[in-house]
Homo-oligomer: A and B are copies of this chain.
Amino acid sequence: MPPAAPAYRRLSVEERRSQLLDAALELFAHRTPEDVSLDDVAEAAGVSRPLVYRYFPGGKQQLYEAALRSAAEELQHCFDEPRDGPLLPRLSRALDRYLTFVDEHDTGFSALLQGGSVVETSRTTAIVDGVRRAAAEHILSHLEVTDPGLHLRMTVRMWITAVEAASLIWLDEGKQPPVEELRDWLVDQFAAVLSVTANRDPQTAALAEKLAADG
């Protein structure tokens, strides 16, 4: 009999890197960064610790940041939504995907946004801020606003922050209320805060009218 094939086939550099990243992301999604070791990543990927170091010489910190970058990209895809049909249902569908992402990365999401983690640096903060900025830009572009004034920008950013806060509490509370209810509640809040701002700002008032008309 010929000898058994090696336990893993030879992967290309890119394949190997992406396999390690996937393993890391899976671990960082469901544990705090403190609870993930390089040995865990090596074991999950079925490779040796030195191999992980060959691809990520910066060790856990570098792996964490690479995994975070990859998660941030995935999260930004949640915001992709065709520009057709009424506006609030579009927001609702994007929120649905966002909350599914939160659900699937629960512990990692909490650890990251609660702050104070050893892996937090100005780079990880910049990645998170990039996602927030992308979310705001998506919303404003669906609203077809190219030159948002201060009131509108503040309203959108405040709502995005409130969504983050809601996600963290939702995770804290054992994912209650049910995700569909949370989603609808957050969409209603969006409409409500936009109405409040409309009382102080003509640009927002025009949008609030549009929103009321297109439902």
Contacts and interface: CB of A to CB of B under 8 A. Distances in A.
Contact of A157 (B116, B151, B169, B176): B169
A158 B165 contact: yes
Given A116-B126, A120-B116, A196 B200 contact: no
A162 B125 CA distance: 18
A109 B19 CA distance: 40
* A interface majority secondary structure: helix
A92 interface: no
Contact of A166 (B115, B122, B158): B158
26 contacts: A114-B129, A115-B120, A115-B125, A116-B120, A116-B121, A116-B122, A116-B123, A116-B125, A150-B173, A150-B177, A154-B166, A154-B169, A154-B173, A157-B169, A158-B162, A159-B162, A160-B165, A161-B164, A162-B193, A181-B200, A185-B196, A185-B197, A189-B193, A192-B193, A192-B196, A193-B193
Interface of A: 114-117, 120-126, 128-129, 150-151, 153-154, 157-162, 164-166, 169-170, 173, 176-177, 181, 185, 188-189, 192-193, 195-197, 199-200
